[in-house]
Structure 1
Amino acid sequence: MTERLLIRAIKGHGQTQIVTLNGKKIRKMPSTLELLPDLKNLCLQNNLISKVCPEISTLTQLKILNLGNNLLEEVPEEMKYLTSLKKLHLFGNKICRFASGACDGLQNLILLNLNRNQLTWLPQEVSKLKSLTHLSLNCNKLVSIPTELCLLKNLRELQLNYNELSCIPEEIKFLKKLQKFLLVRNYIEVLPEGICHLKNLRILDIAGNTIQIFPPGFQNLKLKEFYCEENPLFVKRPAIALQQEDIWSLQEITSRYVMNQLAKKHPFLMCAIEQYPEVRNLISQGKKCPICGKYFLSIWLECVRFIPPPKNWKISRNLQLVPVQVLICSYKCLNRRDPNLFGIAHM
């Protein structure tokens, strides 16, 4: 029956470039596809297909493949032969894995839609999708994002709504072209500082997570839309707390001295530090106190500064102040803070 449907679909069309067989209750892909080497668009949405036929490997001119709402359990290995493919729709299947080599030939793929599947992880091979600009993985079971995903330098839109993510890798900062980032309804507690490096980001939606505070510099993003409903954001609610004495380790004292002398371009230390790569790597993790302007290493006070969202942001209805993380070097500086900066008491 499937073969007859295909023949009927292409009959009288000469060099057929488009085949659409949506909602035909097809269980098996037609093997006669190999007779259509010039096919550009194949749409088999809303059927009962559980496997891709080997003959699909002959469709080297195919640009769009839609197998949405079928019964596939993996991203098929045969995809690697579709070297001209631009758009691949695999939404609404039962996909829980990528077959080995599935990404090998998809160098020209720009859109991949895997919404509503059962993926719990992504393979390192996703880094081979060099041309990808749109990746949609909504409504899966992903628990983490591989750092290899952050190597897709052309990615402009990344949708990860309704998954089981608890964190975002710091390497997200490498997605320099990212414009739209959707993370609705996950379990994310903290956004990495790397997100503040996404200078082209225009839409960010983190609604329904467990975020309390945003990383330093977050307010400098050039967002047009920002949504954060149903997150337990810090609110301005001052309370009196006992202050402790500043007690630093010997490593912290030494590191602070070295970093602050290097900031003054101390000639002896600048020469000596080149001979000690371990020390250089350690102090490269230093931070600058926004109150006194001096450097510190690993002992700090976590504070929050409440900042009005930029006027050009389209924001969640109830967002009046954005709580942004600030790290300061000592209780002495805490006593010199401005009225919108508060220490955070961790219970």
Structure 2
Amino acid sequence: MEITLTGITTTGTPHLGNYVGAILPAIEASRRKDVRSFYFLADYHALVKCHDPALVHRSRLEVAATWLALGLDVENVIFYAQTDIPEILELTWMLTCVTAKGLMNRAHAYKAAVADNVADLDKDPDKGVTMGLFCYPILMAADILMFKASKVPVGKDQIQHLEMARDIAARFNHLYGEHFVLPEAVVDEKTAVLVGLDGRKMSKSYGNTIPLFEPEKALRKLIMRIKTNSLPPEAPKDPDTCTLFELYRAFASTEETTAMRARYAQGIGWGEMKQILFEYLNDRLREPRTHYHDLLARPDHIQQILQRGAARAREYSAPFLAELRHAVGIRPLGT
């Protein structure tokens, strides 16, 4: 059976861009019966970028509630928190001991941090670089290799990490025998990348996001802030350069999108389009938003779901780690 794995970093409140780019495709995939799927909260990964305990704690709750509210089938998939699987950190150390530093030197995030320091004429090119940032790809490799995932859905910016995981796995297999499956990156070229309030890519780092489950009034206020040009209502407009249309298209059907294109060609006022977009999104998100807030009020219920998932995940990770310990020579004396 094909095994897939998807990690969800817990560093903030999920927004519309997360929903369209990652959450919706993954939840649809979670209903497949011919695939064994692992979905996890990447809460150790969150510590690389976020040193605010309250934010990490809150984000773990919000991210889990988001996926559950939107329909993740936890009976069909294995849904757990990374921090509830102790075998992952032990495997991370095993992999660290076979990973060349030169491989980590080539990681995009590390190279970008060094480049920023050099550009600032800082005497130390590694200023501000933690070992968490430097070794991030090894932890990601452990997440994947632990469960023998053959397919890993990722964005284009994560392809390098999958290639590194393959390199690390191949090195371990060469030294200790064929234990790991070499994973393949699955990149959906059709996945939309949404533009935010200011016209740039929607991202928490830019502060231009629209949180997925904003209350109705707050959602409308955010949509009314989206930047548009100064064309008058009666002027024909290009939908493919319009943030409002892009957001609408990400949620609408093909027929609805075609009809909206015609409205743009005929001329539509920005105020009218913003109201249409607000009503469309608000209607689409109303039911899961209610479910989401109900889940937030029941953190113990979410914890129970994650713990059940962790117990199922450890049915795979515990015996596999025992196999790997034996392979590297950590086994009872006299055997």
TM-score over 0.5 for the pair: no
Alignment TM-score, normalising by the size of structure 2: 0.23
Alignment TM-score, normalising by the size of structure 1: 0.22
Query: In terms of Rg, which structure is larger?
Result: 1
More helix by share: 2
Which protein has greater RCO, CA pairs closer than 8 Å, 6+ apart?
A: 2
More strand by share: 1
